Amino acid sequence: HVLEHMMFKGTKRLAVGEFSKTVAALGGRDNAFTSRDYTAYFQQLQAKDLNKVMVLEADRMANLVLSETEFKKEIQVVKEERRYRTDDQAQGKLYEAFMATAFQANPTRYPVIGWMSDLEAMTYKDARKWYDTWYTPQNAVLVVVGDVQPAQVKTMADKTYGKVKPKTLEERKPQVEPRQEGIRRVQVKAPAENPYLIMGFKVPKLNNVLKDRDAYSLAVLSAVLDGYSGARLNRELVQNQKVALQAGASYDMTGRGPSLFYLDGTPAAGQTVESLEKALLAQVKKVANEGVSEAELARVKAQLIASQVYKRDSVFGQAMEIGQNLMIGLEVADIDRMIEQIKTVTTAEVQYAAQTFFDQDQLTVGTLFPLPIDPNKKDAPPKGLSH
C-alpha cells in the first residue's frame, strides 16, 4: 500500500505528480487501491488516448524514482490515512482485531494498510525492495474495456510493457492456516455511539468454478439472510423481534486466502451483543432445520444474480470484475460460469450449507464496547487519500 502511494512520485522522465496531471490533461481520471490480494492502478479516458497512458504505466513499472525525501513525506500521509480509517474508527479497530484473531498463520490476518508499528519502522529501501521484486509485466494483468480492438491493444502492450525487462519472481510459499479448534473472542473498547458485533465462520471458498458447489450454496445462504431489503435478518431481527438496529450477512467466496462467512449487527436499545449473537445464530439454525421454500430461493437467486449483472453497467465495473477474477487465478469466462452455477443451487444445498459449515469451533466473535465520544473530535479525511 505504501508503494502504491509512491508510484505517483515520479519516474526518470516524469516529475512528482506529473502522471496524474498528464491523465487529467487528457480529460481522464486515475487512481489506485490495494486489497489483500493485489494492487490496482486504473485510468478512465477516451479510447484514442489509451496508448499514451500505457506508455505512462510501462514507464513507472520500470523507471520509478524512489527518493528518501518523498518517502518520508508520503509515509506521513499513509499514517494519517491509517489514523482516519482505522485508529479513529471504532468498527475499523474492531475489524482489524477480529481478523488478527480469526487467523494466525495466513497473511489474511494483517491489515492491508499495515500496523502503525510497520509504518513507523518502514524505510524507502523497503518500498524499493518490494518494487524491485514484484513490479514486472509477468506479475501483472492488463485489463482494457471500452471501444477498442483486441489486436490493437495487444500491439500497444507489446510496444510498451513488452519493452520492460522481465524479472525472476520469488516463489510464493503456501502459508496454510492451522485448523481452528475452538471459538475465539476479542473485545475492543473505543469511542462509539453503539455496541457492535461481528462473527466469522471459517468456511470453504471457491477454488474450482464448476465443482465447488458448497461455495455457491453459501453465497445463496448469505443472500437468504441479507440479500435484499426484505431478507430474513432485516425482517426478523430488525423489524419483528426488534433485537437489532442493523443486522447483516456476507461471504467471501473468492480470493487467494481463506474465506469467512460473516454475521454482524448493532443491538437495538435495551438489547446486548450477547442477545444479538444468539438471534443471528438462530436465523442460521432456522435455515438448517427448516430449509427455504422454492419461492424464497427463486427470489433470492434473482436478486443475487441481478447484483452480479449490475456490476457490468459501466466499463469501469466490467474492468474491475475482470481484473479481480484474473488476479485470483480465475478466467474471464468464469464470471458467467459462476452466475450459471448460482442459478442451479437447490433448496437442499442451501439447507446443507446451513447444517454443515457453522460449527462453533470455527467461529470467531468480535465485540465493540462503546466508550464516550469526544464532542470536540474532528472527523475530516486527511489530504492525500486520493493520489
Cα gap 249→210, rounded to integer Å:
24
pLDDT at 99: 98
pLDDT of residue 385: 61
Position 382 scores a pLDDT of 64
Q: State whether residue 208 is helix, strand or coil.
A: coil
Span 243-274, pLDDT tens digits: 999 999 999 899 999 999 999 999 999 999 99
CA angle 226/249/299 to nearest 5° reads 25
Q: Which residues have CB under 8 Å from 101's CB, separation 6+?
A: 184, 185, 186, 364, 366
In this structure, what are the phi and psi dihedrals at residue 63, rounded to the nearest 5 degrees? -125, 30
Q: What per-residue confidence (pLDDT) applies to 384? A: 59
In this model, does residue 387 exceed pLDDT 70? no
Strand pairing partners for 29? 44
Distance of CA 186 to the CA centre of its chain: 22
Within 8 A by CB and 6+ apart from 79, the residues are 116, 119, 120
DSSP notation for 19-54: HHHHHHHTT-EEEEEE-SS-EEEEEE--GGGHHHHH
CATH number for 2-163 (one of 3.30.830.10, 3.50.50.60, 3.40.50.720, 1.10.3470.10): it is 3.30.830.10
In degrees and rounded to multiples of 5, residue 191 shows phi and psi of -60, 125
- pLDDT class for 383, splitting at 50, 70, 90? low
pLDDT for position 22: 98
Residue 268 has a pLDDT of 98
Which residue ranges make up each domain of the chain?
A: 2-163, 184-371
On average, the pLDDT of the chain sits at: 95
Whether residue 339 is predicted with pLDDT greater than 70 in this model: the reply is yes
Instruction: Determine which of 129-133, 288-292, 374-378 has the lowest per-residue pLDDT on average.
Output: 374-378
- Report the range of poorest mean pLDDT among 39-43, 156-160, 183-187, 305-309: 305-309
Q: Does the annotation count 80 as an active-site position?
A: no
- What SS3 class is residue 216? helix
Q: What is the mean pLDDT of residues 53-60?
A: 98
Q: How confident is the model at residue 345 (pLDDT cuts 50, 70, 90)?
A: very high
pLDDT value of position 20: 97
On the question of pLDDT at 376 being above 90, the answer is no
- Average pLDDT for residues 139-149, to the nearest whole number? 97
* pLDDT score for 184: 99
pTM of the entire predicted model = 0.93
Question: Of 4, 18, 80, 296, which residue is the catalytic one?
Answer: 4
Residue 260 pLDDT: 98
Percent of the chain with pLDDT over 70: 97
Give the confidence band of 23 by pLDDT, cuts at 50, 70, 90. very high
**Tens of pLDDT along 362-371?**
999 999 999 9
Query: Is the fold of 2-163 the same as that of 184-371?
Result: yes
Domain 184-371: CATH architecture, name and number where available? 2-Layer Sandwich (3.30)
Q: What's the pLDDT at 312?
A: 84
pLDDT tens, 64-112? Answer: 999 999 999 999 999 999 999 999 999 999 999 999 999 999 999 999 9
> 299-334 pLDDT, tens per residue?
999 999 998 888 888 999 999 999 999 999 999 999
Confidence category of residue 379, pLDDT binned at 50, 70, 90: low
Can you give the pLDDT at residue 172?
86
